Amino acid sequence: MSTAEGAAPLAVADLTEDGLLAALTPLLPRGRRELVGAGDDCAVLAAPDARYCVSTDLLVEGRHFSTGWSGPQEIGARAAAQNLADVAAMGARPVALVVGLVLPPATPLPWVQDLARGMARACGRAGAGIVGGDLSAGESLVIAATVHGDLEGRPPVLRSGARSGDLLVHIGTLGRSAAGLALLGAGIDDPGRAGSPEGAPSWDDLEEETRAAARQALSVFRAPAPPLAAGPALADAGATAMMDVSDGLLRDAGRMAAASRVRIDLDDPVSARAGAAEDLAVLEPVARLLEEPPGARALARRWVLTGGEDHGLLAAVPAGAGLPAGGRVIGRVLEPGDGPRVTLDGRAPDVGAGWDHFRGRGAVDGAAD
């Protein structure tokens, strides 16, 4: 569906629902378990395991993403990634997404098609299909995605299985998305990025290490790439509990501790022996774009501990278990007791817990129940 050269692109308001579906459906990938895809009242998926993991996520423009900061393909990839990560965190492989879109009538058709391409690319890398969904016009742009995952014969890995003596392991990055958000909030963006505003400040004077770290932070914020294969690998390694880090390490570790009725002691990333020390080292030069030392180090530490939406995987693994590639030990699981559920090198955390979808940034988690 095209427009004459030089004419304004078609918008959602120019199309019927069937016309919009016809423009989007050819862009959607098929999944390996797909028997009947988009076009009927329901998709049909093969279920050789006889069980499915199912999760859903909602993204609202202005709350979860900004069209001024991210392109449609990045937003689509972001929407897919956070759903795919939920499946991986159960020890399953993503199979299919169904997607609901609420679109303001003035939304250009090429923008919506690029949104679909971004979701398709993220799903295609995981071997998952986009097998249906729903469309509606509305005042705000909203993306709702539901993911299905195949356990492939494994027991699901829940949040509630961590045991005293387990090691706390993380695979992926920490703090990058929070750093990217902070950069954009301060008006700092990659001048070499396609679509960056004219006259954006040059990065020529920045050290290469800083440029690379800042670009990674901006990229992870716009379109995170969770380590999806690590979910089944951690499950096969004997993980007793697992979840993705979507709302910050401290907050999500607290959720695991509460569900498992244990305490978790995290290594403070400022310690050279800490598994997350590498994240701190990468992010400190980025923080110096916003703060002077020593404030920059404290800011980078806060990103590592409270920044969400990198969607790395956090797992409790028995001591002595072989770790998948990329696994690093960042803490330990302890017996339940008095005091905070989550500590940093044995002390109560001195930074906020992370993101809360109704309150924004939360306070430090309180004592265990």
Instruction: Look up residue 149 and give its amino acid.
Output: G
Beta strands in the chain (DSSP E): 34-36, 44-45, 53-60, 93-103, 129-137, 142-150, 167-171, 241-244, 263-266, 313-317, 328-334, 342-344, 355-356, 360-361
What is the per-residue pLDDT across 74-120, written as a single tens digit (0 to 9) for each? 999 999 999 999 999 999 999 999 999 999 999 999 999 999 999 99
Q: How far apart are CA 228 and CA 81, in angstroms?
A: 9
270, pLDDT greater than 80: yes
CA angle 8, 10, 13 (to 5 degrees): 125
At 201 the pLDDT is 79
* pLDDT band for position 196 (cuts 50, 70, 90): confident
* Beta carbons of 109 and 20 less than 8 angstroms apart: yes
DSSP output for 305-352: HH---S--EEEEE-TTPPPPTT-EEEEEEE---SSBSEEETTB--SS-
At 192 the pLDDT is 87
At 177 the pLDDT is 97
Least confident of 223-227, 298-302, 365-369: 365-369
Rounded mean pLDDT, 310-335:
97
21, pLDDT greater than 50: yes
* pLDDT band for position 202 (cuts 50, 70, 90): confident
* Beta carbons of 93 and 153 less than 8 angstroms apart: no
354, pLDDT greater than 60: yes
364, pLDDT greater than 70: no
Architecture in CATH of 12-150: 2-Layer Sandwich (3.30)
Task: Confirm or reject CATH 3.90.650.10 for domain 159-192+202-361, answering yes or no.
Answer: yes
* pLDDT band for position 5 (cuts 50, 70, 90): low
At 352 the pLDDT is 75
Enter the pTM of the model: 0.92
Q: Output the average pLDDT for the chain.
A: 92
Q: Where are the domains of the chain?
A: 12-150, 159-192+202-361
Least confident of 3-7, 62-66, 144-148, 260-264: 3-7
At 360 the pLDDT is 55
3, pLDDT greater than 60: no
At 367 the pLDDT is 36
At 7 the pLDDT is 72
* Distinct helix (H) and strand (E) counts, the chain: 9, 14
368, pLDDT greater than 80: no
Rounded mean pLDDT, 19-31:
94
6, pLDDT greater than 90: no
At 222 the pLDDT is 97
In angstroms, the Cα distances linking 5 to 111, 221, 230, 275 are 17, 35, 47, 55
Tell me which of 2 and 341 has the higher pLDDT. Answer: 341
23, pLDDT greater than 70: yes
Rg from Cα positions in the chain: 21
355, pLDDT greater than 70: no
Which neighbouring-strand residues pair with 328? 170
Domain 12-150 and domain 159-192+202-361 have a common topology: no
